[in-house]
């Protein structure tokens, strides 16, 4: 099995609505934020983990392929593929997802891992763009905002249990990058279309927490494949075709 090429997808990931990816803080501070966002430990700037992007892409593609109920909500694995053997279409889609995103290191799946080869994509952490950072600093604005939320008592008609959630504001821009390993005998067009469909689903569904409350809407701009502009083709892509 030979590595023939590495395809690089780069874009600016822009927030259409505020984003919250939680930091999991267990500390409580009087007058502080109840629900802080994840920040880089060195510069204290918010970022989007590559694992969050990759995980959401995979989950959405598995929902599209109809494998979630077969796998009991777990990522596609050897057992999932075995159950789909009699459904040619779903089996092909599930196998492609496993090829792109990889499978667990279970010793019982060693034969499948050898057949699929290494995970094809690597999704990098997305950090704030230098231009957006400078714009916020020039205007003396912070990199996050506090959004007040509460629960409405249906009988009394009053707001109760106020809390503050931290989020990255709409308009924030992040450097986005994915690399795709192209091995011999790979169907490169299929691999690339799977990844781009996953990105389109991120635009359609959003990322991070509180999506049902309007958080996490994103869009990709200036999308390039190996420095070639593919934004127009991406905008026209139907993720469910």
Q: Where are the beta strands (DSSP E) in the chain?
A: 3-15, 47-48, 121-123, 126-128, 145-152, 159-167, 173-183, 218-225, 228-229
Average confidence (pLDDT) per 10 residues, the chain, 241 residues: 94 96 56 72 93 95 91 84 87 91 72 84 97 95 80 60 80 98 92 96 92 90 97 95 82
- Distance, in Å, from the CA atom of 137 to the CA atom of 186, rounded to the nearest integer, reads 46
* 225 contacts 196 by C-beta, under 8 angstroms: no
For residue 28, the model assigns a pLDDT of: 42
For residue 147, the model assigns a pLDDT of: 79
Backbone phi, psi, residue 75, to 5°: -60, 150
- Distance, in Å, from the CA atom of 81 to the CA atom of 67, rounded to the nearest integer, reads 9
For residue 155, the model assigns a pLDDT of: 65
For residue 150, the model assigns a pLDDT of: 58
Q: Can you read off the two tokens belonging to residue 146?
A: 């506090």
Half-sphere exposure of 166 (CA within 13 A, CB side): 19
- Distance, in Å, from the CA atom of 216 to the CA atom of 214, rounded to the nearest integer, reads 7
Smallest CA-to-CA distance from 121 within 136, 105, 142, 100 is with: 100
For residue 26, the model assigns a pLDDT of: 45
DSSP per-residue string spanning 75-116:
PP-HHHHHHTTT-HHHHHHHHHHHHHH-----GGGHHHHHHH
Backbone phi, psi, residue 129, to 5°: -75, 150
For residue 19, the model assigns a pLDDT of: 93
For residue 88, the model assigns a pLDDT of: 87
- Distance, in Å, from the CA atom of 204 to the CA atom of 173, rounded to the nearest integer, reads 18
For residue 30, the model assigns a pLDDT of: 40
pTM above 0.95, yes or no: no
């Amino acid at each position: 099995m030979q590595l023939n090429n590495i395809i690089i997808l780069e874009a600016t990931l822009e927030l259409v609505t505020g984003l919250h990816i939680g930091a999991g803080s267990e500390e409580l501070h009087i007058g502080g934020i109840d629900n802080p966002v994840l920040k880089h430990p060195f510069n204290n700037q918010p970022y989007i983990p590559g694992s969050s992007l990759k995980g959401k892409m995979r989950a959405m593609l598995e929902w599209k392929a109809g494998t979630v109920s077969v796998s009991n909500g777990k990522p596609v694995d050897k057992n999932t593929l075995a159950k789909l053997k009699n459904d040619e279409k779903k089996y092909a889609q599930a196998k492609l997802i496993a090829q792109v995103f990889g499978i667990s290191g279970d010793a019982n799946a060693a034969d499948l891992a050898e057949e699929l080869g290494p995970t094809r994509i690597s999704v990098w952490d997305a950090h704030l763009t230098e231009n957006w950072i400078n714009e916020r600093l020039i205007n003396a604005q912070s990199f996050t905002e506090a959004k007040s939320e509460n629960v409405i008592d249906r009988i009394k008609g009053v707001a109760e249990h106020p809390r503050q959630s931290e989020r990255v504001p709409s308009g924030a821009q992040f450097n986005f990058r994915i690399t795709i390993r192209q091995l011999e005998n790979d169907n490169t067009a299929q691999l690339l279309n799977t990844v781009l469909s996953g990105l389109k689903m991120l635009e359609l569904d959003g990322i991070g927490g509180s999506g049902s409350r309007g958080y996490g809407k994103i869009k990709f701009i200036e999308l390039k494949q190996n420095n070639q502009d593919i934004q127009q083709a991406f905008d026209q892509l139907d993720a469910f075709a």
